[in-house]
A = this chain, B = another copy of it.
Amino acid sequence: MLSQSQIKHITALKVKKFREERSQFIAEGHKVVAELLSGKFTIAGIYASSEWILANLPLAREKNIPLFETLPREMERISALSTPSPVLAVINIPPPLIPPRGRGLTLALDDIRDPGNLGTIIRIADWFGIDTVLCSENCVDSYNPKVVQATMGSIARVNVTRCNLAETLRTLPEGNEFPVYGTFLEGESVFSQTLSDHGIVVIGNESRGISPGLVPFITRKLFIPSFGSSAQGKAESLNASIATAIICAEFRRKLKT
């Protein structure tokens, strides 16, 4: 049985303000919690069915994670899912990373508002070996439960840091040593141009694209060519996470071939 104060504490973590105050977030479901158990985060507690606890006791003991047996009706109260799973973890939010200036690719997300998009972009970064995702201050909170679920556990491996993107881009070394890419309708085809194995790729907001304040920092304008027939028109744009996937895949394809 959970106490009322436990239920209140966990429920509060569905709200950004309380996540920030308490530096904690929640993650749910077998797969996501399993990934977090083997990842970089410190887990403050796991709330789970007796079956889950029985199956995961050795690992949780090894990591000194407090376990709380939770009844289905209690899980319904603390869960952020419409269909609660048998396990919910409360996780400590790690301190923000200093944005990287080193090798490799970094994604910089400019006001990505949809939790599904942000979670999916973090999963794409994980798949393509991109270890850092910078989020502008107006992005949806990366510890929002819907974001965490959409990462399918990738949030355990990718460093997601909120920062002022304009400030971060302003302090980068100048010139081609650290290219800053962004997608624009008037850009060059991502398929036909040379791409480097390092730099920052700026991904614009779902409806407005890259904000005017960031445009001066973009040194390489990219475009994903469409192939629709012009006779009947075609899609005007791609979803932000879809565009991210195609661009990341193309960077990685060029790196390997």
Contact = CB atoms under 8 A, between A and B. Distances in A.
B157 A38 contact: no
Interface stretch (A47-55, A76-84, A233-241): A233-241
Contact of A234 (B126, B232, B249): B126
A229 B127 CA distance: 9
A257 B190 CA distance: 12
B256 A127 contact: no
Interface stretch (A137-145, A168-176, A219-227): A219-227
Contact of A129 (B40, B153, B228): B228
A67 B246 CA distance: 41
A152 interface: yes
Interface stretch (A4-12, A17-25, A89-97, A116-124): A116-124
Contacts of A233: 35, 38, 157
A253 interface: yes
A154 interface: yes
Interface in A180-206: 191-192
A256 B226 contact: no
Contact of A192 (B120, B250, B257): B257
Interface of A, secondary structure class, is loop
Interface residues of A, number: 44
A14 interface: no
A208 to B, nearest CB: 14
A128 interface: yes
A245 interface: yes
A124 B238 contact: yes
A127 B235 CA distance: 5
A16 interface: no
A101 interface: no
Interface of A: 35, 38-40, 116, 120, 123-124, 126-129, 131, 152-154, 157, 191-192, 224-229, 232-239, 241-242, 245-246, 249-250, 252-253, 255-257
Give the 8 A-B residue pairs with the shortest CB-CB distance, closest first: A129-B227, A126-B235, A127-B235, A242-B245, A246-B249, A191-B253, A129-B228, A127-B226
